[in-house]
Amino acid sequence: MLVVNDTNFSFAVFLLTRIPRQEHVHPWISIPFCLMFVISIAGNSVILFIIKTDSRLHEPMYIFLSMLATTDLGLSIDTIPMIQGIYLFNSREISLDACFTQLFFIHFFQCTESSVLLLMAFDCFIAIHNPLKYASILTLSRIAKIGLMFVLRGVAVVVPLPLLLKWFRYCRDNVLSHSHCLNHDVMKKAYSDITVNSIYGLSVKLLTMGLDSPLIFFSYVMILKTVMSTASHTERLRALDTCVSHFCAVLLFYTPEIGVSLCSRAFGKGSSPLLQILLGYISLLVPPLMNPVVYSVKCM
C-alpha cells in the first residue's frame, strides 16, 4: 500500500506540460503564441469598440457578436499568458488554488461561448423564418434576460467542479497533460475515488455543449427548410450568406472540443500526448483568434 507524507499533500503543486522533446525550440514556440494573443486581444477589442460606439449596430446580431468577443477575450487572457510563461521562462509550476481558478474560468467561458453560439443560431433562424417579427421577438430586454440566464447557467454548473476537486488530496509535482488546467485532467491526479467527479463532469458537458449543439443543428435544419421553400435562387443565397460566419464559428468551436473529449475519455492513455496537447491548444486558442477574422471578412 502506497504511503504518502502529509507534507507532500500540503504543498502540492501541478506541473503544466509543454510540447515534448522540443526543449531546444521552446523560446521560438512562444512567438506564435504571442502573436495569437496580440491578434486575439486586438481583434475582439476592436469588435467590442465598434459595436459600442456605433449606435446603428445596437441590434441583436451585433449584441450576440459582442458577447462572443467577450468570451473569447476571457479565454485568451486566462490561458495564453500562462502558456507564454511556460515556454519563455520554464514556469511550469502552478498551485492548487491557481489551477482551480483557471479551471473554473476556462470551463465557464467555454460553456458561455456555447450558449452564445446557440443564441446566434436562434437569431439566424428568426431573421430568415420570420423577418417581419424579428424586432418584436428579439427585443433588447429579452436578449439581456436570455444572456443573463445563460451566464447564470454557466456559473451554476461550473462552480461545483473546483469545489469538488478541493476535497481531494494530491501528491506533490503532479504532471498534467496540458499547458492549462482542465477538470478531467486534474481529477485524474487525485488520491481518491473520482467516480462522482467523473459523472458530474460528463453531466456538465451534456447539460451545456451536449444540449446546445443538437439545438444548433436543429436550428440549421429549420433554416435550410425555410430557405428551400423560397422561390428565388438569389434570395436563397442571400439568406444562407447571413449564416456563413456563424457556421464557421460553430465549426471552429465544436470540432476541436469533440477531439479533446474523445482523446481524454474515449481513448484515454492510448492517445498520443502530443495530439492531446495540440488539440488542447486548438480548442482554446483558435476560436478567439479566428472568430474576429471570420466576422471581419464577412463584413467586408
Residue 104: predicted pLDDT: 95
- For 290-300, what is each residue's pLDDT tens digit? 998 888 766 55
The strand pair at 93-95 and 174-175 is best described as unpaired
Q: Is residue 261 part of a domain?
A: yes
> Taking residues 165-174, what's their average pLDDT?
79
Q: Is residue 264 part of a domain?
A: yes
Q: Is residue 177 part of a domain?
A: yes
The answer to whether residues 84 and 37 touch, using CB atoms and an 8 Å cutoff, is yes
pTM confidence score: 0.89
Domain housing 279: 11-299
User: Whole-angstrom Cα distance, residue 118 to residue 204?
Assistant: 16
Q: Is residue 186 part of a domain?
A: yes
Residue 11: predicted pLDDT: 57
Residue 241: predicted pLDDT: 78
Question: Looking at 31-45, 74-88, 95-109, 236-250, which range is the least confident one?
Answer: 236-250
- Mean per-residue pLDDT of the chain: 85
Residue 266: predicted pLDDT: 53
pLDDT band for 231, please (50, 70, 90 cuts): low
Give yes or no for residue 172 having a pLDDT over 70: no
> What CATH number should be reported for the domain holding residue 186?
1.20.1070.10
pLDDT band for 52, please (50, 70, 90 cuts): very high
Residue 43: predicted pLDDT: 93
Which of the pair, 270 or 191, is modelled with greater confidence? 191
Domain tally, the chain: 1
pLDDT band for 3, please (50, 70, 90 cuts): very low
User: Whole-angstrom Cα distance, residue 291 to residue 20?
Assistant: 29
> Taking residues 18-43, what's their average pLDDT?
84
User: Whole-angstrom Cα distance, residue 122 to residue 102?
Assistant: 30
The answer to whether residues 87 and 27 touch, using CB atoms and an 8 Å cutoff, is yes
CB atoms under 10 Å from CB of 243, counted, come to 22
> Taking residues 148-176, what's their average pLDDT?
88
pLDDT band for 119, please (50, 70, 90 cuts): very high
Q: Is residue 85 part of a domain?
A: yes
User: Whole-angstrom Cα distance, residue 121 to residue 182?
Assistant: 27
Q: What proportion of the chain, given as a percentage, has pLDDT over 70?
A: 90
- For 202-216, what is each residue's pLDDT tens digit? 888 888 998 999 999
Give yes or no for residue 1 having a pLDDT over 50: no
Three-state SS at 130: coil
User: Whole-angstrom Cα distance, residue 39 to residue 246?
Assistant: 20
The answer to whether residues 179 and 86 touch, using CB atoms and an 8 Å cutoff, is yes
Q: Is residue 132 part of a domain?
A: yes
> Taking residues 246-254, what's their average pLDDT?
90
Q: Which of 73-77, 188-192, 260-264, 275-279 has the highest mean pLDDT?
A: 73-77
Closest alpha carbon to 176 in 263, 276, 282? 276
Q: Is residue 3 part of a domain?
A: no
pLDDT band for 2, please (50, 70, 90 cuts): very low
